[in-house]
Amino acid sequence: MTALGMLKSRPTRSLLILVAFVAPHGGLHDHVEAQAGAAKASGWSVTIACPPGEWAEKMGSNYHVLALDFDRTSEAGNRILAVGGFDMVHTHPYRSRKVALRVARELAVPLIGTYHNPRLDQLDAHKDSFSAVVAVSDSIRRSLIKDAGIQPSKVFVIPNGVDTKVFQPRKKSININKTIFIITRLDRDKKLITDIVEETFEILKNSPHRWPKINWELAGDGTEYRRFNAIAGSVNDALGRQAIRLRGWLDPASIAIQAARSSVVIAPGRSALEGMACGVPTIALGSRGYVGLIDSELALAGLDENFGSLETGLENYTHGRMARDIDTALSGSNSDHLSYLGRAIVAGRDQNLVDGQYQRLWELVYAMRGGGSLNDQG
């Protein structure tokens, strides 16, 4: 029997995943959706506690969903405890973490947390409450150990994954448009990204002959959408053509199609990986740091910091750097190499591999707390 088959053979256990967010869509939503899928595939009964909205309704078709207001911490905890019966709690940071601590304590079950950046979210004060902590990159793991004083043996690196059934290397026959494809939420918490994109659009506006036949597609939505729509209109008017088009939020299949037809992808974290999976030269940046064009020099650095998760701000960025990275990517001199390198990076981030890491971690933590045998039959 395979390892996954052994996990599926044991009695069903119940996993509670808690996550709070303010945007209707984003990489965090994708991350939790993948986690839930991995748990379900290995035999866990999954309950997701999250804010109400479109995503909660979507997840409700496959999982038990508790739509909660995490700003009302006590009430949210009471609603979860009224359901009860959970064997493990897995939380993401901030408002959901506050509720998760109480629920895990009162139910006396293991608590695991996933950290997407080096911000501690009071991990130093609550480190003994966690059975294990997941960092999505090595640099985040180092920061958590150093700044929170948590035992290194408790901190596991499980990166973001890529659904390689959806995001695949583009076929040689595909029509590659001269397009820069930007993927990001347009919200204030993404200010570093939006500032750099706005700077690049200003360069485009002031230097119309720099990229004369390039089209720009921006996939994303948020509170800054109307402002960016006005910026795009101003640039388009100055150039006398529709150089920039805002697409709003796109589903993964649409992202994959557009990425495969583009010359360059500009994106943070998971979306940067998805661009590389399509074999497209990719510029990575995050809400708190700029990485750059992922080439041989930056490949390992990008992996280390999850393609934009470090809190470096603009210390590594100089005016016009992204425009220069775009020029390099468009030059075509090393496009085959960048394509091969990106696909090599993603090979270790296939969602199936990532799912397996989560499945083994949950089973290990459950077993450490006195769980049953893997050979138990349901």
pLDDT in tens, 137-160: 999 999 999 999 999 999 999 999
How far, in Å, CA of 25 to CA of 247, rounded? 14
Please indicate whether the domains covering 3-161+351-368 and 179-347 agree at the CATH topology level: yes
Residue 377 has pLDDT above 60, yes or no: no
**Residue 217 dihedral angles phi and psi, to the nearest 5°:** -115, 125
- Residue range 127-146: average pLDDT? 95
- The confidence band for 182, taking pLDDT boundaries of 50, 70 and 90, is very high
Predicted pLDDT of residue 288: 80
Q: Where are the domains of the chain?
A: 3-161+351-368, 179-347
- Residue range 231-247: average pLDDT? 96
**79-108 pLDDT, tens per residue?**
999 998 999 999 999 999 999 999 999 999
- The confidence band for 2, taking pLDDT boundaries of 50, 70 and 90, is low
Q: How far is CA 139 from the centre of its chain?
A: 16
Choice between 170 and 363, residue whose per-residue pLDDT is larger? 363
**Topology of domain 3-161+351-368, CATH:** Rossmann fold (3.40.50)
**319-376 pLDDT, tens per residue?**
999 999 999 999 878 888 999 999 999 998 999 999 999 999 999 999 998 665 444 4
β-sheet bridge partners, residue 89: 16, 111
- The confidence band for 24, taking pLDDT boundaries of 50, 70 and 90, is confident
CATH number of 179-347: 3.40.50.2000
Strand-by-strand arrangement of the 64-67 sheet: 64-67, 44-50, 13-18, 88-91, 111-115, 132-135, 155-157
- Three-point CA angle 295, 300, 302, nearest 5°: 75
β-sheet bridge partners, residue 67: 50
Residue 4 has pLDDT above 70, yes or no: no
Alpha carbon dihedral 20, 26, 32, 37, in 10-degree steps, equals 150
How far, in Å, CA of 291 to CA of 293, rounded? 7
Contact criterion met (CB below 8 Å) for 124 and 148: yes
How far, in Å, CA of 134 to CA of 158, rounded? 6
Alpha carbon dihedral 271, 277, 280, 281, in 10-degree steps, equals 70
